[in-house]
Chains A and B, each alone.
Chain A
Amino acid sequence: MRIVTVRRLSQVFFLAVFLWFCITATLGTAWWRWRGWPVNWLLDLDPLTALSTVLATGTLYATLLWALVTIILTLFVGRFFCGFACPLGTLNQFTGWLARRGLDPDGRVEANRYRRAQNLKYYLLVGLVALALTGSVQTGIFDPLPLLHRSVNLALAPLADNHLGLLHDEPRAYASAWLLGVVFLTLVGLNLVWPRFFCRFACPLGALFGLLSRLAPWRIGKTADTCGDCRICELYCEGACRPSGTFIAGECVLCMNCLDRCPAGRVTFAGQASAAGEVGLPDLSRRGLILAGGGLLLASMWGVGALAGAARDPRLLRPPGALDEERFLAHCIRCGQCMRICPTNILQPALFEAGVQGLWTPAVNFHISRGGCLLNCIACGQICPTAAIRPLSLEEKQGVGAFADQGPIRLGTAFVDRNRCLPWAMDRPCLVCQEVCPVSPKAIFTRTVFQTLRDGQALPAKAQGAEVDLNTAFATTANLASGDYYLQPTGQSEAARRRITGWAGARLTLERPLAAEDLQAAGARVDIVVRLQRPFLDAARCIGCGMCEHECPVSGRRAIRVYSENESRSRPGRLLI
């Protein structure tokens, strides 16, 4: 079998694996849903994720150990991952090939010429590594694997959900999905300018592989310095690594096209330098490195803004089990796996809620979502490839069993907005928030008041048994016979109050007749009162799950909202002692 056929099969395999894991990274009862599938495998193989989190945290988390496999292979044979495995590389190669079919050979050779701008990716890598050293992991923004996972998870797969109902019956919503789409389509579209545009110019993972392949004993090369001027190898070269001349080993993505296409069979993959000469890496200019340093200086000013500390947006909630903000930003690679797996769709890619530093990190939103954070769900922490969200057990999340001492994991605390709440501000019974509060005993409790309705005070009334006639029909859009409304002789005690059970025009029917002496004492005047159960919050019991906020019928700015106070992950946010 030809080596390019092997390469193509391998590319198809990895792309298929990637797509399959995207499908299975959903919750449900069907066999193809997530049940032990190693859905993070490609992210685990990514040494840039391993490197940046190691630099930022000093530890190599669990399955990220897979990165060693990639690292070791790259050390010996070069950037095989780019040519044989990377699903984004495959996508880039495919679109580049599609765009250039039938183009004239000179144009194609020109498109595959080595360009100095290919150094950009090394500067980007230097900047990202330096940032990781300062504790801010930003690799995921540019790293092709998190990038592709994020794009598919949050922009492309939801299209399939929402229009074809393929993976979810209900639509999935992701904030600013269009922006993720713009980024993804731009990356793919740039292949129309030059093939493998992202791989050659921007990919920091490719740059890392380039550095790792510096010492690779086996590499592409020519067996003889001289050859004709056919340049067929460069017609098909994916890495723009100059196989016909002085070969740039660090830029070669091992597409093997030169080896396959050379009419004289002069290209080999062997344990020796190209007869036409080779360099390990392109010349990295001092100017570029200074530029990377400048970018780092700028990025270090994020901390001055204190967005992870004192200036934190109190509406920024993180998934259950998330580390404190500082450590969170040292772990999260913005792959979007948590946002995809979350069954209630509460996890959203942050745009600026978490500051520039927190771009596309998961932030909780109870409005876009299909509900609150489920008491019996720990999916996000179980899928998180870097433990930015700790892999909680149900016991730990609920604060039972061995975790009874520390209590449940709290995302924040709900606050009742009395100016917007129906029973607090509008004389309407409601209490949805208390109904859906999932903790036991409930965090939302009530205090009952009887409130005289607007224009419902001291109305002249005549009683006949359980029926009371007002002078005129009482004008209200509320249903006075709903059981929440009462008649009370004006100025008389609670004991004189009677529930209204029927209502027709000016006639009201009561549960029991009014006491004659009460009505007489009131000067034959009555008040129409409503019984309101007003919600109060027991902050010691609230876990900030947001069920109340999601279900609150005040549909715009909810009348009960969860803020980050008292969240488990941050000590400074502690509310109760």
Chain B
Amino acid sequence: VTRPTDADRLSPAELSRRDFLKRLGYASAVALAASGLGLVLYDPKGPAPVEARKALTGLGDYRVAAPALGGGKLAIVRGTERAVMVEQGVKALGGMEAFIRRGDRVLVKVNAAFASPPALGATTHPEVLAAVAGLCLKAGAAQVLVTDNPINNPESCFAISGLADAAQTAGARILTPSPAFFTPVSLPGGKLIRNWPVMAGVFQGVTKVIVLSPVKDHRRAGASMTLKNFYGFLGGRRNVFHQDINGIITELSQLLKPTLCVLDGTLSMVTNGPTGGSLSDLKDTGTMVISTDPVAADAVGVELLGRSLADVPYLRMAEQAGAGLADYHRLHPVLLNTKA
């Protein structure tokens, strides 16, 4: 049995009239919808000159207790074995437990700028990363992330520098820069970091930040150590900032306040930096610096390179900006020797 349809009941004229009214209704509805949408999307002024994106004001302050200027801690450890020196130095500052709490998510900023083997000293030494990551996990860190936005392509840098292997062995995770990690940052009072892409995405959920840097010669900046290592958080065509290298490093010192800095001067690159390329560019300076104060750590590093604060203007500038103390002696550094 088939149910009777409209066609069975209605005359052709009535059908046609119904169809007409239906079409009239639909067309009116679409016309109204189109007009409404048009008015909603209507933009009499036109697009803005630069696409507006909300800018962050910095990457954050990760110090355990924001100390008064000069309240930082500093250990200077002499020796040859990086792992031992790191361990002893951290211990002298109260042990990793003084910095890392159970459940902390730790971001380790290494210098992985170049696809260069660890022996050439152009990048953070994998033994330093392994030691620090190990200490963090032992102190109860939930996760250790390792990152940098290098000059050479990231995969090659992390692989050839030995940092990828060291991270994997220690149980840390490498975060290579992806476009999604970059967000514009406008540093309050900054002249250079204004609406500039910065790798803020890797800080998602991060509670502590440790910076691991080698001591290196750098013609333009005087020296590349902890603060210059912060350059690796910048994205975009960041090299335009070399026009004011001291200015940008000073601003970088304001971008981020790390929990702890490890400056590796076991071997220092004294010539041909920051790329090096030859063992003869390295000098045995036998020193590991552990500090909560990046400026103080770098001030020690400057001496390892046989240079003075006058050769590296950004340290005084960063000091004036409140990033730390260039006269590191005032922090009463703990001096250790692991060779004995």
Q: Are A272 and B20 in contact (CB under 8 A)?
A: yes
Give Cα A398–Cα B241 distance, bound, in whole angstroms.
26
Chain A 310-344 interface residues, beta-carbon cutoff 8 Å to B: 321, 323-324, 327, 331
Q: Are A76 and B27 in contact (CB under 8 A)?
A: yes
CB under 8 Å from chain A, chain B span 212-243: 236-237, 240-241, 243
User: Assuming the A-B contacts A60-B38, A75-B30, A324-B51, are A574 and B240 also in contact, with contact meaning beta carbons closer than 8 angstroms in the complex?
Assistant: yes
Known: A72-B31, A76-B31. A387 touches B47 (CB 8 A): yes
Q: Is the CB of B34 within 8 A of A72?
A: yes
Inter-subunit contact B27/A217 (CB<8 Å): yes
What's the least CB distance linking B247 to chain A, in Å?
Answer: 8
Question: Of all chain A residues, which has the CB nearest B248?
Answer: A577
* Contact code string A410-432 (vs B, CB < 8 Å = 1, else 0): 00000000000000000000000
With A and B bound together, what is the CA distance between A62 and B34 in angstroms? 16
Binds B, one of A81-89, A528-536, A565-573: A565-573
Q: Say whether A391 faces chain B, with CB atoms less than 8 Å apart.
A: yes
The CA-CA distance from A54 to B27 in the complex, in Å, is 21
Q: How far is the CA of A67 from the CA of B237 in the complex (A)?
A: 41
Nearest residue, chain B, Cβ from A212: B30
Query: Do A62 and B27 touch (CB < 8 A)?
Result: no
Q: Return the chain B residue nearest A76 by Cβ.
A: B27
Please name the residue on chain B nearest to A219 by beta carbon: B23
B30 near A272 with CB under 8 A, answer no
What 0/1 pattern do residues 124 to 145 of B give for CB contact below 8 A with A? 0000000000000000000000
Q: Is the CB of A216 within 8 A of B23?
A: yes
| B41-61 interface (Cβ within 8 A of A) | 41-47, 49-51
**From residue B140, how far is it (CB to closest CB) to chain A in Å?**
42
| C-alpha spacing A300/B35, complex, angstroms | 31
Chain A residue numbers with a CB within 8 Å of B192 are 577
Q: How many A-B contacts if CB must be within 8 Å?
A: 87
Which chain A residues lie closer than 8 Å to B47 at the CB level? 57, 59, 61, 323, 327, 331, 387, 390
The answer to whether the Cβ of B19 comes within 8 Å of any Cβ in the partner chain is yes
Q: Is the CB of A75 within 8 A of B27?
A: yes
Closest residue to B184 on the A side, CB-wise?
A: A571
Tell me, yes or no, whether B24 is within 8 Å of chain A by CB.
yes
Query: Which B residues are in CB contact (< 8 Å) with A273?
Result: 16, 19
Task: Please give the distance in Å from A329's CB to the nearest CB on chain B.
Answer: 13
Say whether A71 faces chain B, with CB atoms less than 8 Å apart: yes
Q: A61-B46, A217-B23 are in contact. Are A68 and B35 (CB under 8 A)?
A: yes
Are B244 and A577 touching (Cβ within 8 A)?
yes
Known: A72-B34, A217-B24. A272 touches B41 (CB 8 A): no
Identify which of A61, A215, A331 contacts B27 (C-beta below 8 A).
Answer: A215
* C-alpha spacing A273/B19, complex, angstroms: 9
Given A62-B43, A75-B27, A216-B27, are A272 and B34 also a contact pair (CB < 8 Å)? no
**Is the beta-carbon distance between B27 and A272 smaller than 8 angstroms?**
no
CA distance A571 to B236 in the complex (A): 9
In the complex the two chains form, is B241's CB within 8 Å of A65's CB? Answer: no
Known contacts A65-B42, A574-B237, A577-B240; is-contact A569 B51 (Cβ 8 Å) = no
Question: Which of A54, A72, A572 is most buried by chain B, counting CB atoms within 10 A of its CB?
Answer: A72
Contact with B along A46-84 (1 / 0, CB 8 A): 000010001001111110010110011001100000000
* Docked pose: A71 CA to B20 CA in angstroms: 19
Residue of B nearest to A73 (CB): B31
Complex contacts, B43 vs chain A, CB 8 Å: 59-62
* B50 adjacent to A571 (CB under 8 Å): yes
Interface residues of B in 4-50 (CB under 8 A from A): 16, 19-20, 23-24, 26-27, 30-31, 34-35, 38, 41-47, 49-50
- Distance (whole angstroms) from the CB of A458 to the closest CB of chain B: 42
Contacts of A67 in B (CB 8 A): 38
CB of B59 to closest CB in A, whole Å: 20
Task: Please state if B46 and A390 are interface contacts (CB–CB under 8 Å).
Answer: yes
Structural contact, B51 and A327, CB atoms closer than 8 A: yes
B24 contact set on A, CB distance < 8 A: 217, 271
Contacts known (A59-B43, A68-B35, A577-B243); A569 close to B237, Cβ less than 8 A: no
Judge if A576 is at the interface, Cβ distance under 8 Å. Answer: yes
Chain B contacts of A272 at CB under 8 A?
16, 19-20
CB neighbours of A50 from chain B (8 A):
38
A575 within 8 A of B: yes
For the complex of A and B, the 8 pairs showing the least CB-CB separation, nearest first, are: A387-B46, A59-B43, A217-B23, A271-B20, A60-B41, A272-B16, A75-B27, A72-B31
Inter-chain pairs besides A576-B243, A577-B243, 12 sampled, C-beta below 8 Å: A54-B41, A61-B46, A62-B46, A72-B35, A76-B27, A212-B30, A215-B27, A271-B16, A272-B19, A273-B16, A327-B47, A390-B46
What are 8 residue pairs bridging A and B, where the CB atoms are less than 8 Å apart in the complex?
A61-B46, A71-B34, A212-B30, A272-B16, A273-B19, A324-B50, A572-B236, A577-B244
